[in-house]
Amino acid sequence: MRARASLTVERDPDGRSSVRELRSQSPLALVPRRGTAAGRDPAVTVHLVGSASTPLAGDDVELDVRVGPGADLVLTGVAAAVALPGTDRPSRLTVRVDVGEGASLQYLPEPTVITARADHRTLLSATMGPGARLRCRDVLVAGRSGERAGRYAGTTRVCDGSRVLLVQTQELGDAVLQGSPAHLAGRRVLGTEFLVWDADPQVASAGDWWSLTPLAHRGSLATAVGPDAVSTRRDLDAALLAHPGWAAHAVGG
Amino acid sequence: MPGLASLVLADSRFPGGGHVHSGGLEEAVARGLVTGLDDLGPFLRGRLRTAGLIAASFAAAAAVLAPTRPGPTPATREPQRAPDARSDSGLPPDRWAELDGELDARTPSPAQRDASRAQGRGTLRAVRAAWPSPVLDALVAVHPRPHHPLLAGAVIGLAGDGPAEAARCIGYLAVSGPASAAVRLLGLDPFAVNATLVRLGDDLDDVVATAERAAHGPVADLPAPSAPVLDLMAQTHARQHGEHVRLFVS
């Protein structure tokens, strides 16, 4: 299936953020959170819902997200994405985000499971305006329990104005690479979280299987490698606590 | 056939200070992830196909950029000393800044950025004496401690070798240093370690082919494969190196 989805969030004169444009197509649905809790939150929360079994080989999904100046958006997944085999073509997911001046976006999809014989490619391309804040979490699971991973290559590229902050391609599905002590050391789950959120840490922090490192120009990257998605997410959370800008935000609400 | 520049730069006797780096192997040994020859091969192969591919690609791109001149196509690649390096060399300094920034963006670990720049700085003194060129000045103008792959690639390009030679030299260095460190850290048989290194020949050929292809395209599209555990270990190693006795800087 080929699908194009887009989402625009802007800041209203009263300081609250609201959805201005929302278009989605099967197999990807965008569902704004409603209810009283949503009414109290000045940020907008939109759920990403895979409305069919996705991503399936041959699927080509593009999502454009624009967060206008001063607006705040939380874009979350509701269930793990399971990359499944189908035709002989790879499945593709392209997400382009544009975070305006003083705006914020938290892009928090659920883990992606790369099942055997899947062939999944992703691209996340983000551009940030002055003073913008961005948090992107990515958790990849190399196959279901006891299963070898299919093929996966996902590239993240984040730019701040004309300056590039992070370019990174994650690759799964190559047993030699995954087994290498330089790559996943035989572990099954890889989590990364990119953060540009106020103050970056002055120095890197590291636990046994996670690290939080300040990037060369601006922003930080948390990395965790674990045996399962739960412990890997826990390690990412530990890494985020070492981030002064994020920790202040998390405590202050 | 590789020319003199890539042979000199890949020689362990080259006075560039590369011998103080283990490329993450010391930390992998400290964690028990590499205990002998059986793990060394996979460690080196993983390193070559990730950090090695990035370094080789940027070296190849630097080798393509270094000999560029304004006007006619560079028929001769002899570095020419110009009275005013900046204007007459015709070098687009923004291209070097672009390469430097894109390589920084592919190196999320500060310990690894520092190791790359420390080796670049060490190499700079030696290559400036051997291959003086305004191209090197342009590279240093971007950052006083140029990334090692950019500097080495620029020198190889200036000396008349192409991107493939630059990629082969830097790809090889990405594993030869850790291999030699393995002999010292684990007391392994040097002949067996050397044989392990040589068995990476096909992987190195793949890296060279990918790097050379990418070197002629846009800088933004240069490969960026991550090495998650290598990144984690680089930070732990830097901390341990500061607090305890370690043999290698990285």
Residues on chain B touching A205 (C-beta within 8 angstroms): 235
The residues pairing with A31 across neighbouring beta strands, listed in sequence order, are: A47
* CA A95/CA A134 separation, integer angstroms: 14
Residues on chain A touching B225 (C-beta within 8 angstroms): 169, 171
DSSP-assigned letter for residue A95: E
Q: Reply yes or no on whether the pLDDT at B51 is more than 80.
A: yes
Contact A204 B111 (CB under 8 A): yes
* CA A63/CA A29 separation, integer angstroms: 10
Q: Note whether A114 and A83 are within 8 A (CB).
A: yes
Residue B105 binned pLDDT confidence (cut-offs 50, 70, 90): very high
* CA A132/CA A42 separation, integer angstroms: 17
A186, burial (CB in 10 Å: exposed 0-12, middle 13-18, buried 19+): middle
Global ipTM? 0.94
Helix (H, G, I), strand (E, B) or coil at A2: strand
pLDDT of residue B93: 55
Kindly report, residue by residue over B214-228, the tens digit of the pLDDT: 999 999 999 999 999
Q: Reply yes or no on whether the pLDDT at B2 is more than 70.
A: no
pLDDT of residue A131: 95
* CA B180/CA B190 separation, integer angstroms: 8
pLDDT of residue B20: 81
**Candidate ranges A38-47, B8-17, B170-179; pick with highest mean pLDDT:** B170-179
Q: Reply yes or no on whether the pLDDT at B81 is more than 60.
A: no
Residue B91 binned pLDDT confidence (cut-offs 50, 70, 90): low
Residue B94 binned pLDDT confidence (cut-offs 50, 70, 90): confident
Kindly report, residue by residue over A234-250, the tens digit of the pLDDT: 999 999 999 999 999 88
Check if B219 contacts A (Cβ < 8 Å).
no
Check if B46 contacts A (Cβ < 8 Å).
yes
Check if A176 contacts B (Cβ < 8 Å).
yes
Kindly report, residue by residue over B123-176, the tens digit of the pLDDT: 999 999 999 999 999 999 999 999 999 999 999 999 999 999 999 999 999 999
**Candidate ranges A1-5, B1-5, B120-124; pick with highest mean pLDDT:** B120-124
Gap from A228 CA to chain B (nearest CA, Å): 16
Find, in chain B, the residue whose alpha carbon is nearest to that of A204: B235
Check if A155 contacts B (Cβ < 8 Å).
yes
Check if A175 contacts B (Cβ < 8 Å).
no
* CA A142/CA A237 separation, integer angstroms: 21
Helix (H, G, I), strand (E, B) or coil at A171: strand
pLDDT of residue B29: 92
The answer to whether the Cα torsion of B152, B157, B160, B162 is positive or negative is positive
Q: In terms of pLDDT, which residue wins out, B154 or A41?
A: B154
Q: Reply yes or no on whether the pLDDT at A157 is more than 90.
A: yes
pLDDT of residue A253: 55
Residue A58 binned pLDDT confidence (cut-offs 50, 70, 90): confident
φ/ψ region of B187 (left if φ > 0, alpha if ψ in -120 to 50, else beta) reads: left
Residues on chain A touching B108 (C-beta within 8 angstroms): 166, 168, 213, 215, 221, 223
| Structure token digits, residue B79 | 């570095």
Find, in chain B, the residue whose alpha carbon is nearest to that of A189: B228
Residues on chain B touching A123 (C-beta within 8 angstroms): none
**Residue from B175, B222, B231, B250 to probe the interface with A (highest A Cβ count within 10 Å):** B231
Q: Reply yes or no on whether the pLDDT at A29 is more than 60.
A: yes
The answer to whether the Cα torsion of B157, B163, B168, B172 is positive or negative is positive
Contact A181 B34 (CB under 8 A): yes
pLDDT of residue A53: 54
Contact B109 A204 (CB under 8 A): yes
How far is residue A48 from each of residues A39, A109, A195, measured CA to CA in Å? 19, 7, 20
Which B residues, 126 through 155, put their C-beta within 8 Å of a C-beta on chain A? none
Question: Which ranges of chain A does DSSP label H, i.e. alpha helix?
Answer: 36-40, 175-179, 229-241, 244-252
Give mean pLDDT, residues B9-34.
87
Gap from A71 CA to chain B (nearest CA, Å): 27
Check if B106 contacts A (Cβ < 8 Å).
yes
DSSP-assigned letter for residue A107: E
Helix (H, G, I), strand (E, B) or coil at A10: strand
Question: Which ranges of B109-227 does DSSP label H, i.e. alpha helix?
Answer: 110-130, 134-142, 148-158, 163-186, 190-198, 201-215
Question: Out of A164, A184, A203, whose CB is closest to B105?
Answer: A164
Question: Out of A168, A179, A182, whose CB is closest to B230?
Answer: A182
Residue B16 binned pLDDT confidence (cut-offs 50, 70, 90): confident
Flag the least confident range among A59-63, B121-125, B244-248. Answer: B244-248
Contact A183 B46 (CB under 8 A): yes
Taking each helix axis from N to C end, the angle separating B110-130 and B134-142, rounded to the nearest 10 degrees, works out to 160
Gap from B235 CA to chain A (nearest CA, Å): 6
Contact A204 B113 (CB under 8 A): no
DSSP-assigned letter for residue B90: -
Residue A54 binned pLDDT confidence (cut-offs 50, 70, 90): low
Beta strands in chain A (DSSP E): 2-11, 17-23, 28-32, 44-50, 60-67, 72-77, 81-83, 91-99, 104-108, 112-114, 119-128, 133-141, 151-160, 163-172, 189-196, 205-206, 210-214, 220-226
Residue B118 binned pLDDT confidence (cut-offs 50, 70, 90): very high
Q: In terms of pLDDT, which residue wins out, B239 or B23?
A: B23
Gap from B224 CA to chain A (nearest CA, Å): 5
Residue A86 binned pLDDT confidence (cut-offs 50, 70, 90): low
What is the identity of the amino acid at A131? G
**Residue from B106, B232, B250 to probe the interface with A (highest A Cβ count within 10 Å):** B232
Nearest of B109, B123, B97, B141 to residue B237 by alpha carbon: B109
Check if B102 contacts A (Cβ < 8 Å).
yes
Determine the Cα angle at B115 with ends B217 and B120, to 5°: 60
A/B interface, count of CB pairs below 8 Å: 117
Contact B111 A190 (CB under 8 A): no
The residues pairing with A61 across neighbouring beta strands, listed in sequence order, are: A3, A93
Which A residues, 107 through 136, put their C-beta within 8 Å of a C-beta on chain B? none
pLDDT of residue B54: 98
Flag the least confident range among A62-76, A215-229, B85-99. Answer: B85-99
Find, in chain B, the residue whose alpha carbon is nearest to that of A203: B110
Q: Which domains does chain B show, CATH number per domain?
A: 4-243 (1.10.4190.10)
Residues on chain B touching A155 (C-beta within 8 angstroms): 224
Helix (H, G, I), strand (E, B) or coil at A250: helix
Q: Note whether A46 and A75 are within 8 A (CB).
A: yes
Q: Which backbone phi and psi does B8 adopt, to 5 degrees?
A: -65, -45
Q: Reply yes or no on whether the pLDDT at B84 is more than 50.
A: no
Q: Which backbone phi and psi does B160 adopt, to 5 degrees?
A: 105, 0
Q: Note whether B110 and A213 are within 8 A (CB).
A: yes
* CA A94/CA A155 separation, integer angstroms: 10
Helix (H, G, I), strand (E, B) or coil at A117: coil
Flag the least confident range among A147-161, B7-21, B150-164. Answer: B7-21
Residue A81 binned pLDDT confidence (cut-offs 50, 70, 90): confident
How big, in percent rounded to 5, are the helix, strand and coil portions of chain B?
A: 70, 0, 30
DSSP-assigned letter for residue B35: -
